[in-house]
Structure formats: structure tokens, C-alpha cells
Structure 1
Amino acid sequence: MTWDHEPPPGSRRGYHHGNLREALMKAALDLIALKGPSGFTFAEAARAAGVSPAAPYRHYRDRDALMADVARRAFDAFEAKLKQAWAGGTPDPFTAFERVGRAYLDFARLEPAQYSAMFESGLSFKAFPDLHVAGERAFNVLKDACSALVAGMPEAKRPPAMMMALHIWAQAHGIASLFARGDEARRPIPMSPEDLLDAAVLIYLDGLGARPKKSG
């Protein structure tokens, strides 16, 4: 899911009653792409949206509130992408699990500004509970996938889904942030980020005894 980022920052964007909030969010994404999530002011976001410095206060009390709205919507898009990849665990949980990992990397690559807003804005979940809820919904897609993946194991040997999800999330996030991001901070490696994540997850699942055995 991509927001329309045109016209570029610095241009005048007219708005009518009802779309100021959208204009500000698009402007913030443009500025994140250019300067990072901490590299611009509330007034710069207003200027990039083509409105007066006072106009954003109609919707947001300050810059952090704008950034929280951008990050919340990004988490919603992220959740939708992960859910689409999981597809109810079809045709089998392991295949679907691999798709979820690749979807994680795809989002970081294709939506670098949204990914940065989600994870690099330094916003307090206590100050913005809706942002926390959105982030948890996205994480729960991964946690539910982990539960399904190990459901066939003997209960006494079944690893906790929360632990698995946190470990897999850390692996996916590290690889996405270092090697799959869609900006110039991406580090080159002699393999695809997808292959690196697949290998890391397989090693992890083997260690837990959670890797599905091949039939035949």
C-alpha cells in the first residue's frame, strides 16, 4: 500500500476542508524520505503541505502527534501486508510462514518512509496508545503464524509462540533494517536479504525442533 507522494516537498499544495490531515501526512512521508523521521519541524511539514504554520494545529497538537498518525497508518498497512502473505496459513503453515518473512522485507524495501516512521520515530507508546495498538496488531500476525507453525509438535516440546515471534521479529527486523531497506543506508551483501532470512529462520527452527519434516 503506497501513499501518493506527489508533488515533492517545497511545492504548494492546495487543500479544501476535509483533506488537510491527508495533505500533512503525505508531506510528512515526503520529508521522512528526504531527511529521516527526526529531520524536520512541524512548520516544515506545514510548508511542504502548502498551508500556513498554524494550519496543522486543526488536527494535531504538535509534531509528535502528526508522526504518530503517520506511523499508525503505516502499521495498518504493514499488518495488511503480513495478513495477505499469511493467507490463513495456506497451503501449509511453513510455506505461509516463509511468505510472511518475505513480506516483512518487501515492506521495508518498498515503503522505506513508512518503515522508518514505524520504527525510528522514537515515539512513546504511552503517549500514543493507538499507535501501540496498531503495532501490536501487526505483531500478532507473526505470533499467530508461530502458533500455527508449532501446533503439530508435542505440547511438552512446543516452544512458546510469543518467544518465537519475538525471535523471528528480531531476525526479520535486523535483516530488513540493514540489508533490505529501500534507501541509501542499505548495506550490500553477497546474497539476497530473502535468502539470508530464510537461512536464519531455518537454523532457528531446527534448533527448536520446530522445522516441519518433509514427507516421503
Structure 2
Amino acid sequence: MPPVPRAPGTALLVLRDRPFVAVVALNAVFAMHFGLIDVGVPLWLSARTSAPTWMVSVLLLVNTVTVVLLQVRVARGTDTVPQAARAFGRAGLLMAAACAVYSLAAGVPTWVAVVVLLAGALLQVAGEMIGSAGQWGISMGLAPAERQGQYQGFGSTGFAASNMLSPVVLTLLCVEWGRPGWWVLGALLGGVALLMTPVSAWALRTRDRYGAATASG
């Protein structure tokens, strides 16, 4: 496909595209889950469970190896915006389940905590892979071809904000509050992911105003 020239007079048009702004906001909230493997789970494991601290490395290895082996395969079937949005919703349910499972690791024998943490890590990485595929399908599909750079740059800004805020949010919920905080986090992640389907459908209906969707099938 040949390069598409930038359309004249469209600087910062993305900020006037309210449906896409809503999509970016939902994804920014959901993207807080990326801080789990680096911040939330290690702090929870060391402060509230009897699992050995070396389990942090095991969980990180499980996450990394799974993504390397399965991310491309998992991304299949997210080529259109509706498909990607449905995948994003499934990712939210998996992430909510992961949070619920992680919450069970406190106050149990060491071997039980280890098994629970591994189960939570597998649910989390499944949600992470499916959610990443869905996010890319939605953002690429909704962005007009001649403004992909502008739209993806704005999407990356939302992701950066999420990375900045997630350590504070995850520490307060998962470590300071404890088990109920995990349930609140799971409900939050699952809720915003399920909202992506109606919001992305709204965004698709407005593409004639902001530019044709590239993958609206």
C-alpha cells in the first residue's frame, strides 16, 4: 500500500474526535494491568503472602515466555474494529478473574499461595495478550489512514499516563487495601473493557465525520 499524504489543516483533529478520545481513555484505564507484573503482584507477594520472594522472577518468566510463544497466534481474529472490541471485552473478563485469583494468595499455606499465584499469572498474561491485540485492532481501525501518526501518538499519550498512575493506584488497592482492593481492581478492569464494545461502535458510526475507518468490517 503506498504512503498516504497528510491531509492539510488537520493538526490535532484527534482531540475533537470525542469517540476516539473515549476509546483512548478506556484503554488507558485498562492498561494499568501492565503494572501488575512489575509492581502490584511483587508487592502483594512479598507483603501479604507466604510465597517465597523468588516467585516474583518465576511469574515474570511465565509472563515473558507466554507472550513470546503465543502473542501472534492470540492476535488472530482481531482485524476489524468489532472483532477487536469483543476481544478486548474478553481480555477484561480474564483480567478480572486474574485479580480475583491473586486475592486468594493471602493467608494460605506456602504451596497453595504458589499455585494460586501461578494460576493468576496465567490468567493475567492471557488477558494481556488478548487485550493488546484488541487495542491495536481498535486504534488502527478507527484512525483515518492519512492521520495514523496523529491518532497513534495520542493513543500512546494515554498509555504513558496509565504507566505513570498505575504504581500509585495498584499500591493503594492491592497492597494497602488488600483483598477487597483486588476485587475493586478486577471490577474496574473488567468494566472498562466491556464498555469498549459500545464505545467503539459509537466511534465507527462517526467515521464519516472524522475520516473513514480502515478496518470497520
The structure whose RCO (Cα within 8 Å, separation 6+) is larger is 2
TM-score between the two structures when normalised by the length of structure 2: 0.37
Q: Radius of gyration: which is bigger?
A: 1
Decide which structure has greater helix share.
2
TM-score between the two structures when normalised by the length of structure 1: 0.38
